[in-house]
Structure 1
Amino acid sequence: MGNDYIQCKGLYTINGTVVYKMAQINQKWDKVLELFFEYPNKSFSVREISKKARIPSSSVHRYLQILKKENLITAENKAIITLYFKFKKTFYIIDKIYNIGLLDFINRELNPSLVIVFGSVRKGEYEKESDIDIFIESSIDKKLNLEDYERKIGHKIQIFVEKDIKKIQPNLFKNVINGIKIEGYLDISLK
């Protein structure tokens, strides 16, 4: 594993759910990428990134060249907000949800039939202060302690639990069904 990162390779499956896998295996690369995702309207100097990410300037410079080549950042080291950028940003955070064990925790505690990420995360528009909105369809009504996961992911996590997705308020329903299903089956047939 001498490479600093691996290009995106397509789809993989977790518990029968297909998810786009951003196969970034290097924590240094993740720290640099995360700065642009969390602060998309800010320009960064190499020195500033090096200090915030706690990695050598030479590595930062190499990572910035890759991001520029992929048209994710400008010459001034500022994010280029395109659909491609938002797409990568969305699946970066979903990948983190899997990697920190949040979905496993939700499955253990609530045994859900459906889990959907929605809101600013789904749109690729979240920033550092944004929360992560997750809808869970479950017959178990239990308050979850999410502090460890919030610390690991760097965002507050807002959970909406309902026994039947069809029983949530119409405005929330629209947001939820336009979200990204990360677990389970969505049945919205009108029987």
Structure 2
Amino acid sequence: MFEQLFGSKTRVKLLNLFFTNPNRSFYVREITRTINEQINSVRRELENLKKLNLVRNKEKAHKLYYSLNPKFKFTDEFKKIFNRIEKVDREIVEEAASATSEEKLAKEFKKIGKVSYASLGGYYVQNPHSEIDIFIVGKVDRRPLKKLITRLETEAGRELNYCLITQEEFNYRQMLYDRFLTEILNSPKIILIDELEPEVKISPKAEKQS
């Protein structure tokens, strides 16, 4: 159950919000502003916490409000934990949860084909100057890739731009000091997979989609 509780950064923030405000109710958009997370992610995690009977909801004035469920089995224990945790410790917990999410996403990319490199930029690192949100090097099955991208777009609540190229095309562009590739590699990013092979002789072929 503890894996379910601390499975994502958004969930940790929600737990902190509810356990440090045990007598308050919040509506969804109020929560998204308070914890600074995407609304789709917040809604998904609220449903997860409801299934654990940790939070409950009630409609007031045509708005759905969420609050801590006082009947939750470990309410007192978690109140003590979150009331004692200092800000820096909370950040460590959030970062650990975020790292766990990145590991899960890396595994998902590996399942869709032979992926030697995958990184998140643009939206994921709050860089409006980057055109590419997801960069992938390898050979993947297109249908599972599209399904994964669609799911990530649903979670983000927006369209995501991704670029898929082969290992050979990566080597070719790198050899030519290609501006597009250089900008991606030099931009802020979260690296999920980095298993690039040595350069090989290739015939260039790339795919950019958005």
Using structure 1 for the length normalisation, give the TM-score. 0.47
Q: Computing the radius of gyration over CA atoms, which structure comes out larger, 1 or 2?
A: 2
Structure holding more helix per residue = 2
Using structure 2 for the length normalisation, give the TM-score. 0.44
